[in-house]
Amino acid sequence: MHHQKLEDYRKNKLDEMMIAELQQEMETGKLTSEELVLMYKENISLRDTHIHAVLEVNPDALLTARALDFERKHKGTRSNLHGIPLLVKDNMDTGDGMHTSAGSLAMADHYALRDAKVVEKLRAAGAIILGKTNMTEWANFMSDKMTNGFSSRGGQVKNPYGPFDVGGSSSGSAAGVASNLAVAAVGTETSGSIINPAAQNSLVGIKPTVGLVSRTGIIPLSHTQDTAGPLARSVEDAVAVFAALIGTDSEDVITVLADQFIGRDWKQHLKSDGLSGVVLGLDRQLFKEVPDDQAKAFEAAMGQLRACGATIKEVDIGTEQEDLGFAVLLHEFKADLNAYLARSNPDHRIRSMSDIILYNEEHAEQMLKFGQNLLQQANSMSGNLTEREYVEALERNRFLAAEQGMKKQLQQAGADALLLPQDFGCNIGAAAGFPSITVPAGLTAAGEPFGITFAGQAFDEPKLIEYAYAFEQAAAGRRRPS
């Protein structure tokens, strides 16, 4: 495409295009993957100066796109992600010319030795890793005073919709996709880190069941709760990326559970009548703190859900769980991060959590804007996960969140899933390792993105996708930033 034509395409057509549309354009020769990368790179250079969503652009992106265009022409496509530019969060190893730093300047010159398993899977599917996204430093487990989306390496990710919380910790992944800097992105969640920024940026976010997606090569927080998942502008696109991420990995034993979903046709779950006859559980205790304008938006969304054929039923998940997860994260962070660093590139000087804390103290002006009390607290644990407090917290979490909580309460109410506003209450499913999916539901009166979240039990993704898709088709709640 001629330069001027490409510029017109970028300005007038590219924004909000979906994977299927882009594939159609590439299949009919109207567009190449190389041109797609050029246009998104241009969007990054024009729009990201004040959003700070992208930490670095992949220096190999254009070359990869060219190779994939050649492959399309001569061999055909590898999958529906062939030639599609995606962004990945900066806690995912890329064994290429980009760094992997979890947003920390202490890791800013760290090159991973190989791709994280999820990155490897995306590349195998023909996706292009366009760049790495800014994130709340150390997945927001550095200081309890830190703002969502801040990192010493990338500065503050801004919400493209206005002076609102950008959400986190997958902040750049969300703000970047909302701003049309790529087609979709991959983030990670331990508790809320996909659902929260997706909802704050008018996106679909899928937080999978722990065990469906490998964590190998992802800078960890908690092996009990960590998972990767997609952020996209539509349910269909989120599902396309999600399908590519699923799979077993001998290095992450919990993924044996992923077998049941391999090769599944996810398209069958994109059903406009997916909410017909569905019972959604609502626990008002979980969101007593919801601001008025969000409460209004939520009431409107519930009206739309009922119009789609859903019944909403009050449930009581139990509120003694408000601090679910914290003790477990505190203990696992040290053990898991030290294990990651021990296996990391031997050329890199940071080998342990103690090294990070020391680096931060030595560079206090740059590093300790919000302090590092969570890092210090985590580092005071043994790191070998033998403490009784840890073992008991793990049991208690699982019991309260799963057995006593979602499993029991949904069953008693005869409910298919839990309905939540934004990410309120999503820590319960996270502590249980359960899946959730958030879908845009318009903007509040103040112009802040609002989303509703469907939370289910282990491996309920097919159902949740049906509910999300049906709501999306009826509500069309995604808004572009102006």
Distance, in Å, from the CA atom of 51 to the CA atom of 156, rounded to the nearest integer, reads 8
Residue among 33, 41, 89, 171 flagged as catalytic: 89
3-state secondary structure the chain: CCHHHHHHHHHHHHCCCCHHHHHHHHHCCCCCHHHHHHHHHHHHHHHHHHHCCEEEECCCHHHHHHHHHHHHHHHCCCCCCCCCEEEEECCECCCCCCCCCCCCHHHCCCCCCCCCHHHHHHHHCCCEEEEEECCCHHHHCCCCCCCCCEECCCEECCCCCCCCCCCCCCHHHHHHHHCCCCCEEEEEECCCCCHHHHHHCCCEEEECCCCCECCCCECCCCCCCCEEEEEECCHHHHHHHHHHHECCCCCCHHHHHHHHHCCCCHHHHCCCCCCCCCEEEECHHHHCCCCHHHHHHHHHHHHHHHHCCCEEEECCCCCCCCCCCHHHHHHHHHHHHHHHHHHCCCCCCCCCHHHHHHHHHHCHHHHCCCCCHHHHHHHCCCCCCCCHHHHHHHHHHHHHHHHHHHHHHHHHHCCCEEEEECCCCHHHHHHHCCCEEEEEEEECCCCCEEEEEEECCCCCHHHHHHHHHHHHHHHCECCCCC
Peptide bond preceding 169: is omega within 30 degrees of 0, i.e. cis? yes
For this structure, is 179 an active site residue? no
Residue among 169, 170, 179, 344 flagged as catalytic: 169
Geometric angle at alpha carbon 390, from 384 and 396, rounded to 5°: 150
Residue among 193, 202, 344, 436 flagged as catalytic: 193
Distance, in Å, from the CA atom of 355 to the CA atom of 435, rounded to the nearest integer, reads 34
Q: Which residues are catalytic?
A: 89, 169, 193
